[in-house]
Chain A
Amino acid sequence: MKRHHIIKTILIFQALLIFASCKKALTEIPNNAIPTQDAIVDASTARAAIIGTYDAVQNYYASNYPTLGTITADNVIFNGTLSQYLQLDQNAIPPDNVITVAAYQGIYKAINSANSVIAYVPQVSDPLLTATEKNKILGEAYFIRALGYFDLGRGWGGVQLQLKPTTDLSALKGIKRSTLDQTYDQVLADLTKAEPLLPEDATTRNRAQQSTVRALRARLDLYRSQWADAENYATQVINNTKYTLVKPYKAFFTAPFLSTESVFELTFTANDKNSFWNLWYPSSLGGQFTLKPSDAIVAKLNNPAIGGTRNTLIAGSGTSVYGVLYNTSATSTDPSYVIRIAELYLIRAEARAQQGNLSGALADLNAVRNRAGVANSAAATQADVLQAIEDENSVEFAFEPHRWFDLVRTGRAGTVLGLTNQNYWLFPIPLSDILSDPDVTQNAGY
């Protein structure tokens, strides 16, 4: 009997030990993610990677970046409960303000995706990935990186330039903040690379094309006061028959979108929603009403001599006037409007005015005004024309992220918004970066 026990015990424990030999048993693999080393290896993963890069741009352009460029200026005011919006409205932005943090983080996410595409796609050798398509993917990545650094530069000043994908944290060390000029130089370099790689067709408006690159180039040159270049690139885009100033004004923000007005917009779909409208609509219509048109812009839009048909940007009455640029409350499919052809007209108008070509400037300005059913501008002097362009920008892009950046770019935020402390013309670098990154320095005044 006793011997049996011993044998049995030994048998059982031998059996138990079988488990120990199963090393594979501790390997679990997710079914909704791929290992980093397999991320870009063939045609389909390369395509997925550039799509993912656009998705990252969508993420910061859906609501965060447009909010930063609007509530901070005078067209949009805070009307909700969330103090992060109040902070932006009051231009008293702490470094942990979640909107600025999310935008900053989102932009670098897009840049990291673009960096990955730029680094790995050239190494892919897959007969299904033609040289043309490879170039297109690379060109799109360069464009997105340019857009990312441009959006960082105008918001936060010169930033740290990450040009390689992050696979290891040690590679981050030693990269300090660049100057704003260096950041914009990087944007220029990427745009220059992107232009020849990209295709151009007559219909695409939600992926980067040569004209998209030229349009951003025109804006970059405007921000850098390089008027001739700005005029030149704006002209190239305006002359492309793919783009027209649509009538009526509201056509560009009315479904099905992708109007000929659009140079670059980010499309959202029923499966990929953008519920930015929710921040604009009152709760009686299902929204949160955090962002509200200011009394001043409501008056301008309702004035036929200023707003014209742009009064279709607002709805409601009395104290509950609300903005309807983002209006697909049932489906949440509003696009993010990144570049419209109207902007190119106003860029060229400003560039021409700065170069003393007032009649050319007025022609462009009036093209935008006439489209909205507003009479020609009466401005006569250079200063008047520039002021008229500034005012036009404010109304034409009432709820798009232009006004704040324009006032900062032209140095008029102090005069117009009363924000005389120029430190606050830049957003703070996120607090967690200040704490975790020895290479970063905070913007002055924060």
Chain B
Amino acid sequence: MKQFYKRSVYLLFCVFFTLTAFAQTNTAPTIQSKLDGIVLDSLTKQPLPGAVVKIKGTTHSVSADADGKFNFVTGQRFPYILIVSYIGYVQREVIATGSPITIVLKENVGQLNDVVITGYSTQQRKFIAGSITSVSGNAIKDQPVTGFNQALQGKAAGVQVLSNSGVPGGGITLRVRGSNSINASVDPLYIIDGVFVSNADPVQTSLGNQEQSNPLSDLDPADIESIQILKDANATAIYGSLGANGVIIVTTKRGKRNTQAKINFNTYQGWSTAIKKFKVVDGPQTQELVNESKINTAKDGGIDPSTIVLPFANPASAPTYDRISSLFETAPSRNYEVSTQGGGETSTYYIGFGYLNQESIVKPSTYDRYTGRLNYDNYLTSKLKVGTSINFSRSFRNLSGSDNNPQGVINSALFPRSYLPIYNADGTYARYGSFDNQDALIANLNNKAVEWRTIGNFFGEYSFLPELKLRTSWSVDNGSNYENDYTNTLLAAGIATNGSAASYENKNTVLTNEQVLTYIKSFGRNKKHNINALIGNTINTVLSQNTTATGTGFATNSLTAISVAATKSGSSSQSQSKLLSYFAKASYTYNDKYTIDGSLRADGSSKFGVNKRWGYFPSGGVAWRAGEEDFIKKLDIFSDLKFRGSIGLSGNQNGIGAYAAQGLWTSGANYLDQPGTAPSQLANPNLTWETTRQVDFGTEFGILKGRLDFTVDYYNKYTYNLLLNVPVPYRSGFASYLENYGSVTNKGVEVTIHSINIRSNAFQWTTDFNISFNKNRIDKLASDITLGASGRNISILRQGYPINSFYLYKQLSVDPQTGNAVYQDVNNDGKITAADRQIVGNAMSNYTGGFTNTITYKGFDLGAFFYFQHGNKIMNMNDFFMIHGGTQANIGFVPRQLDRWTTPGQITDIPRLTTYSGNPTQNDGAANNYGGNVASLSSRYLEDGSFIRLKTLSLGYNIPTKTLNGIGISKLRLYVQATNLLTFTKYKGLDPEISSQSNNQNTAGYDWATVPQPKTIQVGASVTF
């Protein structure tokens, strides 16, 4: 590997050396004229800073400054023609006859004229045959979330985003057009300013089965200029083996040439509260339920209930201890960002700093983050440009476990019975069953994770000819996560060991080198022929390193360093994988109407078997701008109309081990402190790429003079040769074998509507709507794979059904006569056995979407954004545990347990209380109410998780410029914003936006002692100097 980089460095050196030699041949021009000018918006007469003004027939161009002003000192004589362009505005040619000059540009309504960043190049949207969604940085700013990816929820069709919990900086689930894979990764590829970034959760501290962090929180969303989401094969195939799950390209803000320095300051303060809090049954009722269960159990066992001793003699006098209130808090958050951007004749810069601090509504999780960014470009000569984008960040997390960890904070507050005191008589923390004490946890949890992240890129770009450019780019994403955990003797986990400590250092490094040669040229009469072609290569190395030290036995709780522990141990591991790629892409447009394009990528991966290391990923697409045809123009309906279609292959290799194809014996299988080895993995020399074939048909059109824009896409993704851990008979000594087997289909439709309802000088109202339908199906699978919920296997992967299906006993009713649960006897054998478990729902939504209204009136702006999802189910594990009929000796009840059957004729879905275990196969028998074969794996705990929620509601006011002029401020906006203000759902748990078992992509849709989404009110200000 070293060799590679050496060679690349040498190559780069050679290139630059020759280029600089050329650069020095420029000669100073003679001055013939001076021109001052200003570029303004035609409607609002606001200046357009950054507009590019070019003298036609020359390479001389300048950009307008912050006030829209520009000037030329040129060798040209008046009159000459200026070409004036600005993103989002119609380009104009203006004849300059003298100085000064005022140029007005008309805004280009209609999205087709945007410039879009595509794989390795930039293209005008009107020529693109692929399906790409753009989201501007503005659309995601000021959200009280930590990661930009979280803020994409409901903003982009085809992108499904769900926060797994309400923990700040916690994990999220993001899918582009559904889940493609079972064992390989389903996360898209994230590229930030050309850097392939790692989205692997670096947090090692194990505190339940939840993804602890969102690694993309390390980027301050305020630094983002725009986000492009590449969805179809035509757009993603150029990323070959990394592209199957979609590609999200983030471009951060850069300065513009010849613009005055501008300083921005943003801040907000927010307060978050729980939308709903947990409810449990009080002490007297809990004791009554336990007594009732005991009596019923006796009856079921044929014992006279009058002969038994009840556990509680006098339930009415039982006390109630509230553990829930102390769990929640009003969580403050604050955010500060300061940035400056600008540029001179030869260089541009953007410098930003940010600080964010958020607390969780459930104590004691916190998150805080410092970010710094420098984007700098320098035009060494008119042909050679070098630049850099560097992001530094430090994020701090105080971690707190939940979900399946019985000694997590929520579990310890929610599950213990309410009549049990929180403190012992001597004032010490009281603990029951497997649970810890929540007050002890809140006061003593000490799991601190500090992540330092550097995402940096250096590039050089040389234009041999105006149409031929070579770009070389060197990138690094270096994440270093350092965790120090100390469990003291006041916590259950630290009692036995006299305190225990763990320290983790986890490094994730992604190195990418890339060369791209681009050729963009228009030629022929009227420039009818338009070519956009590129060829390039990348070398990508992913290195992951881990060191762990643990210690137990501390003299006192104030000593927390592992060095002073009585017993110490440590370990380390590392893995490295490499990817070599070559790619080419070409696009040809005729007469601005017909586009055909194609791409090909070849990828070689070190992860795969020696026989099948290389994969080839072609794609092709066509686009037809029917709106440019005369017969469409004559209709006078469409302001724009485009059809496109594409097909292609992309691959996936992420999410499998670096050495997954090799036959291995693992070391560390030690005994008697002697080193041991044992077979750990079977070789698969034929292991190769998981491939996704995607077909996409789309249309983009505008009507009503561009006031109403539509984008509609249909796609069909077929992923085959899945990288699947195929279960093998255990008698082999192995549990599974990684091979290319199985297939998954995702089909869907996406609709995006952008409407300018009212557009006048003073009053503007726009509406954005998007909806995405996705249907997922496993077409082929070796055998059922069941998993999830700590060995309860509630999730299943089964051929013919979608990923993330729930596998339970379907409860038909509670027999009104006996009070026992009746389940569907699937095989009609009159018994309830494992064969009667079936798929009763799915955690995936049928559709998701967003609905945004933005109104501006004079200085005021009002925004309302709704997010919705429909058709997903949630397994309510809190109910699963807390509606136990008496079978769980250490767990209390939720109020729904009070609906249990008590009297003949009663209609309810909660069966009669009993712990009787005789005859576990009997349907409508006492054993299967809460135990037996069913063991509470009943569909009665599975609920509809559909919801629609007012995600954000904001009101802002721009202080008039006149008022501000005197105090040196050019812009000042004040706003108030509410997040998650209203939620409409049938889900009876705390919040439907949840996924407690998110560490595994195949166990979605659980609600299990997890921090719910908060409701947040924030006030903020944004100032420009």
Residues of A participating in the B interface, judged by any CB pair closer than 8 Å: 4-5, 8-9, 11-13, 15-16, 18-20, 22, 25-37, 39, 45, 47-56, 58, 79-84, 86-87, 90-92, 94-98, 101, 104-105, 108-109, 111-113, 115-116, 159-160, 162, 165-169, 172, 175, 206-207, 266-267, 269-272, 277-278, 281-290, 329-331, 418, 430-433, 435-437, 439-440, 446
Contacts and interface: CB of A to CB of B under 8 A. Distances in A.
Given A28-B606, A34-B665, A19 B4 contact: yes
Contact of B678 (A4, A11, A47, A53): A53
A54 B676 contact: yes
Nearest to A272: B670
B672 A269 contact: yes
B887 A86 contact: yes
A8 B671 CA distance: 62
A271 B552 CA distance: 12
B38 interface: no
Contacts of B678: 49, 52-53, 55-56, 109, 113
Contact of A270 (B569, B735, B783, B931): B569
22 contacts: A9-B464, A33-B681, A36-B679, A37-B663, A47-B674, A51-B671, A52-B677, A55-B676, A81-B888, A84-B792, A92-B917, A92-B927, A92-B935, A113-B678, A116-B679, A167-B663, A169-B728, A267-B671, A282-B431, A283-B436, A329-B497, A436-B729
B984 interface: no
B676 A48 contact: yes
Name which of B1, B515, B679 has the most chain A CB atoms within 10 A of its CB.
B679
A285 B663 contact: no
B671 A272 contact: yes
Given A12-B470, A28-B658, A269-B673, A104 B730 contact: yes
Nearest to A18: B7
B732 interface: yes
B466 interface: no
Nearest to A57: B671
B433 A437 contact: no
Q: Which 4 A-B pairs have the closest CB atoms?
A: A112-B733, A51-B676, A286-B496, A329-B496
B537 A19 contact: yes
Nearest to B436: A283
Contacts of B4: 19, 22, 25
A25 B431 contact: no
Contacts of A83: 792, 935-936
Given A16-B537, A92-B920, A105-B735, A82 B791 contact: yes
B682 A435 contact: no
Contacts of B15: 8, 12
B960 interface: no
B659 interface: yes
Nearest to A434: B783
Interface string B636-667: 00000000000000000000001100111111
Contacts of A56: 669, 678
A94 B890 contact: no
Name which of A16, A20, A49, A160 has the most chain B CB atoms within 10 A of its CB.
A16
Contact of B932 (A5, A15, A34, A90): A90
A298 B1 CA distance: 65
B909 to A, nearest CB: 20
B297 to A, nearest CB: 12
Interface in B534-592: 537, 539, 552-553, 567, 569, 573-578, 580, 582
Contact of B496 (A5, A50, A80, A281): A281
Contacts of A159: 731
B396 interface: no
Given A36-B664, A435-B784, A92 B931 contact: yes
Nearest to A152: B731
Contacts of B834: 94-96, 431, 446
Nearest to B891: A81
B11 interface: yes
Contacts of A50: 676
Given A45-B677, A48-B676, A51-B671, 10 more contacts: A15-B11, A16-B537, A36-B683, A39-B679, A52-B669, A54-B672, A207-B672, A271-B673, A283-B492, A435-B784
Interface residues of B, number: 112
Interface in B903-930: 917-918, 920, 927
A431 B783 CA distance: 11
Nearest to A11: B14
A58 B673 CA distance: 13
B598 to A, nearest CB: 20
B493 interface: yes
Contacts of A269: 672-673
Interface of B: 1, 3-4, 7, 11, 14-15, 18, 22, 406-407, 415, 430-436, 464-465, 468, 470, 492-498, 515, 517, 537, 539, 552-553, 567, 569, 573-578, 580, 582, 604-607, 613, 658-659, 662-683, 726-735, 737, 782-786, 790-793, 833-834, 881, 887-891, 917-918, 920, 927, 931-933, 935-936
A87 B920 CA distance: 10
Contacts of B582: 20
A191 B681 CA distance: 29
Given A36-B663, A90-B917, A432-B783, A16 B669 contact: no
B1019 to A, nearest CB: 43
A115 B679 CA distance: 11
B671 A112 contact: no
B578 A25 contact: yes
Given A25-B1, A37-B663, A431-B786, A436 B470 contact: no
Contact of A80 (B434, B567, B683, B935): B434
A300 to B, nearest CB: 21
A281 B433 CA distance: 9
Contact of B662 (A11, A35, A272): A35
A420 to B, nearest CB: 10
Nearest to B674: A51
Contacts of B726: 436
Nearest to A33: B664
Nearest to A90: B917
A190 to B, nearest CB: 16
A286 to B, nearest CB: 3
A97 B918 CA distance: 19
Nearest to B15: A12
Contacts of A97: 791
B679 A9 contact: no
A430 B731 CA distance: 11
A30 B545 CA distance: 12
B891 A330 contact: no
Name which of B567, B667, B673, B729 has the most chain A CB atoms within 10 A of its CB.
B729
Given A25-B4, A28-B576, A48-B667, A435 B783 contact: yes
A54 B672 CA distance: 9
Given A48-B676, A166-B732, A285 B682 contact: no
Nearest to B807: A96
A48 B927 CA distance: 49
Contacts of B733: 108-109, 111-113, 115, 162, 165-166
A16 B406 CA distance: 56
Nearest to A8: B18
Given A39-B677, A92-B931, A58 B578 contact: no
Contacts of B668: 32
Contacts of B731: 108, 111, 159-160, 162, 172, 175, 433, 437
B783 A112 contact: no
A13 B517 CA distance: 10
A280 to B, nearest CB: 11
A330 B497 contact: yes
Contacts of B674: 47-48, 51
A286 B669 CA distance: 27
Contacts of B576: 28
Nearest to A161: B731
A344 B782 CA distance: 47
